[in-house]
């Protein structure tokens, strides 16, 4: 409808220009807004104010000219000029009812579009290190990434969801060593657990599995393990050195093959746990991309060599530096350490190059806000490699700070004291968790009070929306019980019987759904959809309490049922995109 009105205005302006009433070089950027106040009609345009200056006329005078030149339309009841020069459009009933027919016709397809034209996009999200279970901080990225993917699919893109698995590097070595040391403790060795190791209970469980599957295969005397290892921090030493020496000792005593078994035991088990956790949360990836596999394939070395060939690598102090300052970064970055090991950044370069080569129109990364410093260097590397860095879109997700009442909860994986995503899901439920996470825009810091979410779960907005859906389902059930049915023949809708103000505003809300989806998707802001659904549910609840559906008058009944069915459809469509269920009863 907006489009139709915009066309009318464009015609009017073009008409005025051809008559010489307006300058030729005028380029109208027609903007149609939804009005907040219905006394201003359904839609408003500020075109007269926009053109006032270039046309050298007063806004109101210009508005009059535009209105007089406006072609007539069956959808427009009347047009008024108001305020400083707004042109307000009042729709005819038929104009407003169009949307009802469209919803009934398209059902779950309503609101979806083909704007994306089937182009391929990739969304990479969560990508937490497989060193422990996901915690509530990861949950926000998970819910956001999945919802964004759903929205992009809804507007016609083909989306691949991807998880970058950091299954190589020092953190994983620390995990493997932690598991092994717990294993040794299980077998009765007196070993003081390193302060820098992973202390969570799940590490002990991994050690238990190791015992039951491999018995004493990895056993060694505590004295051999700890011999000549430097002191840990509590004993006055350096905790980083301490853990690094323990890693070396583990590799040396176990040998390549056995070390890999211990390593993989931890990796595979945690990865499986993460995958299951996310699946239960409604998220399935098209690809789990292994960093280790990428390194073993030689892609990381190849990327470094390519940069070297292009002349962007300097050798300093035994290390290889990528000259990222040539491409707008603050400082140059090491890609290969003096010990010959590639850095995390080197993997990232190779990984992003690989993504780009897989033919996506755009690659979207969802990162925690603490990673914002990496944007410049990754884009710099892509640019150096001859790729267009604008194809990489990075969305930063601010932290969710978890509270239990007033108490702020720790979220460190290493310390082992954190609330897992699974615990959160069990406590507040998947629907409330998914909904809560995307209610606020991602740039906002978020306070997540567990006690509130739990104790006041009845007041959670997600139930408000679901309740509207359940009420509609309930009415339909009641209809059947009374031996009645909704007449699905459009001739029998009798929409002209919808004359109540609550009906008008509900219809108006319904008509806003498609543009809400489009905007949410394009701006990457699922919270717009959340707020829309709340408003829609609000409009419905108000209507529901004021007017009965199952009235004697069959025409009014069918008209209202039609409106109910449309409302239920939109709530279902919206909640589905959010990954929230739309229950028939609750």
Ranges within 299-328 binding RNA (CB under 7 A): 316-319
572 binds RNA (CB under 7 A): no
Among 542, 555, 572, 576, contact with RNA (rule: CB under 7 A) = 542
Helix (H, G, I), strand (E, B) or coil at 149: helix
Among 113, 187, 398, 576, contact with RNA (rule: CB under 7 A) = 398
DSSP string, 273-318: HHHHHHHHTT---SEEEEHHHHHHTTHHHHHHHHHHHTT-EEEETT
Question: In this structure, is the dihedral angle defined by the CA atoms of residues 490, 496, 500 and 505, taken in order, positive or negative?
Answer: positive
Least gap, CB of 186 to RNA (angstroms): 27
546 binds RNA (CB under 7 A): yes
What is d(CA 347, CA 349) in angstroms, rounded to the nearest whole number?
Answer: 5
Site for RNA in 517-536 (CB under 7 A): 519, 523, 525, 527-528, 531, 534
Least gap, CB of 378 to RNA (angstroms): 11
What is d(CA 519, CA 528) in angstroms, rounded to the nearest whole number?
Answer: 8
DSSP, res 420: B
Among 107, 331, 358, 408, contact with RNA (rule: CB under 7 A) = 331
In this structure, how many other beta carbons lie within 10 angstroms of the beta carbon of residue 557? 20
What is d(CA 299, CA 440) in angstroms, rounded to the nearest whole number?
Answer: 39
Among 11, 444, 488, 492, contact with RNA (rule: CB under 7 A) = 444
396 binds RNA (CB under 7 A): yes
Least gap, CB of 79 to RNA (angstroms): 11
Tell me the per-residue interface mask from 172 to 191 with RNA, x by CB under 7 A, - otherwise.
Answer: x-------------------
26 binds RNA (CB under 7 A): no
Least gap, CB of 462 to RNA (angstroms): 9
Q: Are 566 and 103 in contact (CB under 8 A)?
A: yes
What is d(CA 248, CA 180) in angstroms, rounded to the nearest whole number?
Answer: 12
Nearer to RNA, 297 or 480 (CB): 480
Among 183, 259, 322, 544, contact with RNA (rule: CB under 7 A) = 544
Tell me the per-residue interface mask from 37 to 66 with RNA, x by CB under 7 A, - otherwise.
Answer: x-xx---x-x--xx-xx-----x-------
DSSP string, 333-394: EEEE-TTSPBPHHHHHHHHHHHHHHTT-SEEEEEEEGGGGGGHHHHHHHHHHTT--GGGEEE
408 binds RNA (CB under 7 A): no
Nearer to RNA, 107 or 337 (CB): 337
545 binds RNA (CB under 7 A): yes
Copy the structure tokens of residue 400: 């969710």
169 binds RNA (CB under 7 A): yes
Tell me the per-residue interface mask from 190 to 229 with RNA, x by CB under 7 A, - otherwise.
Answer: ----------------------------------------
Nearer to RNA, 14 or 334 (CB): 334
430 binds RNA (CB under 7 A): no
Nearer to RNA, 194 or 360 (CB): 194
Nearer to RNA, 168 or 575 (CB): 168
Answer left, alpha or beta for residue 521, where phi above 0 means left and psi between -120 and 50 means alpha.
Answer: alpha
Nearer to RNA, 181 or 346 (CB): 346
Residues ≥6 apart with Cβ < 8 Å to 43: 1, 2, 5, 32, 33, 34, 35, 88, 89, 91
Q: Are 182 and 203 in contact (CB under 8 A)?
A: yes
Least gap, CB of 223 to RNA (angstroms): 29
Phi, psi angle pair for 526, to nearest 5°: -60, -25
How far from 54 is each of 17, 38, 391, CA to CA, in Å? 13, 30, 37
Please tell me the number of Cα atoms within 13 Å of 398 on its side-chain side. Answer: 11
Copy the structure tokens of residue 541: 């609840």
Q: Are 346 and 304 in contact (CB under 8 A)?
A: yes
443 binds RNA (CB under 7 A): yes
Nearer to RNA, 526 or 579 (CB): 526
Among 101, 323, 371, 414, contact with RNA (rule: CB under 7 A) = 371
Contact region for RNA (CB under 7 A) — 142-150, 166-174, 177-185, 197-205? 166-174
Among 192, 369, 410, 485, contact with RNA (rule: CB under 7 A) = 369
330 binds RNA (CB under 7 A): yes
33 binds RNA (CB under 7 A): yes
Burial status of residue 250 (CB atoms within 10 A of its CB: 0-12, 13-18, 19 or more) = buried
Answer left, alpha or beta for residue 221, where phi above 0 means left and psi between -120 and 50 means alpha.
Answer: beta
Contact region for RNA (CB under 7 A) — 31-39, 156-164, 182-190, 262-270? 31-39
Site for RNA in 478-497 (CB under 7 A): 478
Site for RNA in 62-121 (CB under 7 A): 82-84, 86, 88
């Amino acid at each position: 409808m907006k489009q139709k009105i915009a066309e009318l205005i464009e015609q009017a302006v073009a008409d005025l220009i051809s008559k010489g009433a307006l300058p030729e070089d005028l380029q109208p950027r027609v903007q149609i807004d939804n009005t907040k106040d219905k006394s201003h009609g359904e839609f408003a345009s500020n075109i007269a104010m926009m053109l006032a200056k270039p046309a050298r006329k007063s806004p109101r005078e210009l508005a009059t000219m535009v209105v007089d030149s406006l072609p007539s339309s069956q959808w427009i009841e009347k047009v008024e000029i108001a305020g400083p020069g707004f042109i307000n459009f009042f729709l005819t009933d038929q104009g407003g009812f169009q949307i009802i027919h469209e919803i009934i016709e398209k059902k779950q397809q309503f609101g979806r579009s083909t704007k994306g034209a089937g182009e391929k996009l990739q969304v990479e999200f969560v990508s937490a290190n497989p060193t422990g279970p996901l915690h509530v901080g990861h949950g926000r990225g998970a819910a956001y990434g999945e919802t964004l993917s759903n929205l992009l699919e809804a507007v016609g893109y083909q989306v691949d969801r991807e998880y970058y698995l950091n299954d190589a590097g020092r953190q994983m070595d620390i995990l493997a060593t932690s598991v092994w040391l717990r294993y040794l403790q299980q077998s009765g060795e007196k070993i003081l657990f390193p302060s820098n190791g992973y202390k969570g209970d799940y590490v002990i469980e991994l050690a238990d599995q190791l015992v039951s599957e491999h018995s004493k295969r990895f056993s060694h005397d505590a004295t051999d393990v700890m011999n000549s290892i430097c002191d840990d921090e509590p004993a006055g030493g350096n905790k980083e050195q301490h853990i690094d020496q323990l890693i070396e000792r583990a590799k040396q005593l176990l040998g390549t093959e056995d070390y890999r078994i211990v390593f993989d035991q931890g990796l595979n088990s945690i990865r499986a746990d993460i995958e299951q956790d996310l699946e239960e949360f409604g998220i399935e990836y098209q690809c789990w991309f292994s960093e280790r596999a990428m390194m073993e394939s030689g892609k990381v070395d190849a990327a470094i060599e390519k940069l070297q060939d292009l002349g962007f690598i300097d050798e300093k102090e035994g290390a290889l530096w990528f000259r990222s300052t040539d491409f707008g970064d603050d400082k140059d970055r090491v890609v290969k350490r003096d010990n010959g090991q590639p850095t995390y950044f080197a993997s990232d370069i190779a990984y992003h190059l690989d993504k780009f080569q897989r033919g996506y129109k755009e690659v979207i990364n969802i990162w925690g806000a603490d990673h914002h410093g990496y944007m410049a260097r990754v884009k710099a590397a892509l640019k150096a490699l001859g790729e267009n860095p604008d194809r990489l879109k990075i969305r930063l997700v601010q932290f969710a700070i978890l509270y239990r009442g007033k108490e702020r909860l720790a979220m460190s994986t290493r310390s082992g004291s954190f609330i897992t995503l699974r615990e959160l899901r069990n406590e507040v439920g998947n629907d409330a968790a998914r909904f809560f996470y995307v209610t606020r825009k991602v740039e906002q810091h978020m306070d997540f009070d567990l006690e509130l979410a739990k104790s006041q779960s009845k007041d959670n907005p997600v139930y408000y929306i679901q309740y509207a859906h359940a009420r509609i389902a309930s009415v339909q059930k009641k209809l059947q019980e009374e031996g009645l049915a909704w007449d699905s023949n459009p001739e029998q809708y009798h929409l002209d019987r919808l004359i109540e103000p609550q009906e008008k505003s509900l219809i108006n809300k319904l008509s806003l759904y498609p543009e809400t989806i489009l905007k949410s998707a394009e701006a990457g802001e699922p919270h717009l959809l959340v707020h829309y659904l709340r408003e829609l549910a609000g409009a419905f609840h108000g209507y529901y309490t004021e007017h009965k559906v199952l009235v004697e008058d069959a025409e009014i009944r069918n008209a209202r049922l039609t409106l109910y069915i449309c409302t239920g459809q939109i709530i279902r469509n919206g909640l589905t995109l959010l990954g929230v269920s739309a229950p028939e009863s609750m």
